[in-house]
Structure 1
């Protein structure tokens, strides 16, 4: 153990700041409009949320922390919200975990992770944020990596320990944040996102033997695109394929990437590369950049390795594109369902809902096989608030140009459309008929092997104001907000300009996770 001590400069009473935040969230929750508030996704009781943080299983409970602005429904001074669960099905709200209270984090307790040491004790690493000019972002940002530890096994009270990685501001263009910590071959590693002095998006690597004193080792990765000036919420982990080969996955949310064809259509885009890494060296990518999620509203995912070996991930359903209708309802933002990351025999990553998600199911209706004629529309639910749909389309026996489901279909003619597009050979989520919010469409590709199989499996999760679509057991995913109009929210099977053969169709009614 070294004699290094983190730098701690307290400027406010932390418990008092937490109490203020709790009061403001409660005030927003008291008048919250639940028309689009999720039943089975994690969201704050009130206020704005963004990135998932501090994901872990500790002392028998799953913990999800998240970025929270408790004083309004727009992004603002970040705190850490907190929920926990014994089974990843029923969740309970926990006290707000961290608020700005130090000189180093006075303008925001930014994103970070949880890491369990060799002693079995948990540490939090997060970014302390302050405006360089003390007022706003016009003078740049000053960000440092911080350590905090829980005061109880329930993680309901946290003590900040101070700065463990200061920012070499002459080598950084403001952005220096979002630590991820793990252990390999007896050494602790920390990586985080950096905008270099030359405004290149990088991930830096630090090492430690005691989880307190950290030393710079190298630039782990620099994004090859010079337009990408920052890699937010970086991730880095090993994964083993079905043949037993270990690969390394580097994930990040790229700021500055330009739209190109179907790629990078969102404001910022979260994805990954698969490659190799040897401690002491840089990461060597062996694939192109691939999106974690092809939908309109996905960003800032974080993963962690569960004790059973699964690599689990939550993402933030980011609503940054205006207008954002839910901001008028006392809350804004939610997380995705938890997903398990696996490396398939096809050499790519798959992200399917964790097996615990099946515990949300209540009643199941099996509609079996169906045939739709040219341009036929067939109602399957008159009103769907929280449902999961499993659908298999026989592509080989279908002639439709588009075939799929109209979701959140209201009496005013609005809906969101999820369909297979035969001309694009892609799965599409299309919001052109939306009554409110941003419109446009997003697509997920199918590989040659998937197309050659002649079958398409879709698993859809429809919540009050969002849709998640898992394609062929998570080979692709699309997550998008959808704001239905007042009244019943129907679901309709649709076959456009041709016939459609449905091999299987099951509908599961889903229960609340307990956070409403």
Structure 2
């Protein structure tokens, strides 16, 4: 079956299932999710001809991971989205077992995708595989043709570079050259990234191992992305296999970044320490783009490998985080939801100067599809926060709270309903004894932005549809200086 026929076959399956799937209880209202089947990494996130294009790893035929296709959605404003036909299907000898992750770049009026073609050479998928890098292009941003010269990078470089695990090209242009960075590891299973350059996207020159992990930095670096903010080069990546340290690195794999300077002559990135992108449960494979406003926007897969995914029983799995704007302050990324999301707001409810000592319910502050902004004066409280998606009869609640003694925020989903449990924590300093929280709730997710994006915590939750309560609580007196709540409209 050729490439076009495989896409037609997959589209027929999606169309036959989507209307029923989107009615199921955990399907998102305003997050991108697959129409049916499996989703993981965002791919090819790009701003093309005035619109944002988001591709993603996709298996249309099952809610389990399978031979990867590229799903596709687009948006004019990062708030409302439209599903488009599948862009890539595994159809050639070099990608027959999956069109793995990659990126996109606009050249003149065409959109080019660069991706990893994957072939299993045996049953052991950790060791028996061949990965190559490939190009596809489109005149309209919707229908893509694979390049006849594929694969454009057919073997890993010589040296202490694993011969089979090199993947996830992120491509950009600087000066007269195109560059791409690839995730890799050494033969001793230490994560690293590889830098290439080209003048035409077809003939690629290996420049150098741009960076290699030391210490607790994982056995493989996936989904690298290099970009510049305010004169600083940032490497964003997902290290696999970092060991927990204190309250850090408790997800199976991490997503984070280092800040430094990439030497475009030597191909080496000098950088500082690793920093987490998100302190929650469910962020992986982040990818960025820059738009016509010059903003650096990031999206991530809103799941984690090997986590329980209760939505699979409804024939779908996976979602993408809200789009987030990244800025750099004092060597650290500050991450905030894109302001365009305000267009989805409706039915505002607001309160000011509410004293709380114990538990407090505010009329009309509840719901499943919620944006909530709260500024809290900690006063002399030892602990305070809020519970969301609460149903006391069912014993369901998701708890977000701050401890003034440890200066840590905790996200507790032990009683969130179905699905995975656990807690995640993030160190946070109060600002003039105040805590600013910006919270988004969807059918099966929580995204918490803390102190204007200083920290972010993201997690999937699977509560009962009737679990819609929101409660504020404190040990000691606090003051809710400002509470603003909106119901969030659908994005599709």
TM-score relative to the length of structure 2 = 0.95
Asked if the contact 1:200/1:226 (under 8 Å) is kept, the reply is: no
SS in 1 for 2:18: helix
SS in 2 for 1:369: strand
- Once residues 424 and 185 of structure 2 are traced to their aligned partners in structure 1, the CA distance between those partners, rounded to angstroms, is 29
Report runs of 4+ in structure 1 exceeding 6 Å deviation.
none
SS in 2 for 1:432: strand
- Once residues 124 and 5 of structure 2 are traced to their aligned partners in structure 1, the CA distance between those partners, rounded to angstroms, is 24
- Once residues 458 and 362 of structure 1 are traced to their aligned partners in structure 2, the CA distance between those partners, rounded to angstroms, is 19
Asked if the contact 1:273/1:285 (under 8 Å) is kept, the reply is: no
Residue aligning to 1:387: 370
**1:414 corresponds to 2:399:** no
- Once residues 431 and 270 of structure 2 are traced to their aligned partners in structure 1, the CA distance between those partners, rounded to angstroms, is 29
Alignment of 1:390-469 (within 5 A): 390-395=373-378, 397-399=379-381, 401-410=382-391, 411-446=393-428, 450-451=429-430, 453-469=432-448
- Once residues 467 and 432 of structure 2 are traced to their aligned partners in structure 1, the CA distance between those partners, rounded to angstroms, is 37
Question: For residues 315-366 of structure 1, what are the alpha-carbon distances to aligned partners after superposition, in whole Å with 9 as ceiling and x for unaligned?
Answer: 111143443211111211100000111012x331111111211111122111
Residue aligning to 1:5: none
Kindly state the Cα deviation for residue 376 of structure 1 after the two structures are TM-superposed: 2.2
- 1:123 pairs with 89, 112, 130, which one? 112
Return closer, same or farther for 1:203/1:271 CA change in 2, 3 Å cut-off.
same
Residue aligning to 1:477: 456
Superposed CA RMSD = 1.8
- Once residues 275 and 184 of structure 1 are traced to their aligned partners in structure 2, the CA distance between those partners, rounded to angstroms, is 17
Alignment of 1:222-301 (within 5 A): 222-225=212-215, 228-240=218-230, 246-301=231-286
Residue aligning to 2:353: 369
Aligned length: 486
Question: For residues 443-463 of structure 1, what are the alpha-carbon distances to aligned partners after superposition, in whole Å with 9 as ceiling and x for unaligned?
Answer: 1212xxx43521111100011
Kindly state the Cα deviation for residue 57 of structure 1 after the two structures are TM-superposed: 1.5
Question: For residues 454-505 of structure 1, what are the alpha-carbon distances to aligned partners after superposition, in whole Å with 9 as ceiling and x for unaligned?
Answer: 111110001111000001111110000111124241111111x222211111
Asked if the contact 1:131/1:139 (under 8 Å) is kept, the reply is: no
Unpaired runs of 5+ residues, structure 2, are none
Residue aligning to 1:216: 206
- Once residues 342 and 191 of structure 2 are traced to their aligned partners in structure 1, the CA distance between those partners, rounded to angstroms, is 39
- 1:352 pairs with 336, 339, 352, which one? 336
Kindly state the Cα deviation for residue 91 of structure 1 after the two structures are TM-superposed: 1.2
Unpaired runs of 5+ residues, structure 1, are 1-11, 241-245
Asked if the contact 1:239/1:247 (under 8 Å) is kept, the reply is: yes
- Once residues 138 and 203 of structure 1 are traced to their aligned partners in structure 2, the CA distance between those partners, rounded to angstroms, is 18
Kindly state the Cα deviation for residue 74 of structure 1 after the two structures are TM-superposed: 1.4
- Once residues 382 and 200 of structure 1 are traced to their aligned partners in structure 2, the CA distance between those partners, rounded to angstroms, is 48
SS in 2 for 1:137: coil
**1:55 corresponds to 2:45:** yes
- Once residues 275 and 68 of structure 1 are traced to their aligned partners in structure 2, the CA distance between those partners, rounded to angstroms, is 33
Asked if the contact 1:173/1:195 (under 8 Å) is kept, the reply is: no
Larger mean CA deviation between 414-423 and 467-476 belongs to: 414-423
- Once residues 348 and 19 of structure 2 are traced to their aligned partners in structure 1, the CA distance between those partners, rounded to angstroms, is 34
Asked if the contact 2:127/2:164 (under 8 Å) is kept, the reply is: no
Return closer, same or farther for 1:334/1:230 CA change in 2, 3 Å cut-off.
same
Residue aligning to 2:58: 68
SS in 2 for 1:182: strand
Residue aligning to 1:21: 10
**1:328 corresponds to 2:313:** yes
- Once residues 280 and 478 of structure 1 are traced to their aligned partners in structure 2, the CA distance between those partners, rounded to angstroms, is 37
Residue aligning to 2:194: 204
Kindly state the Cα deviation for residue 283 of structure 1 after the two structures are TM-superposed: 4.1
TM-score relative to the length of structure 1 = 0.90
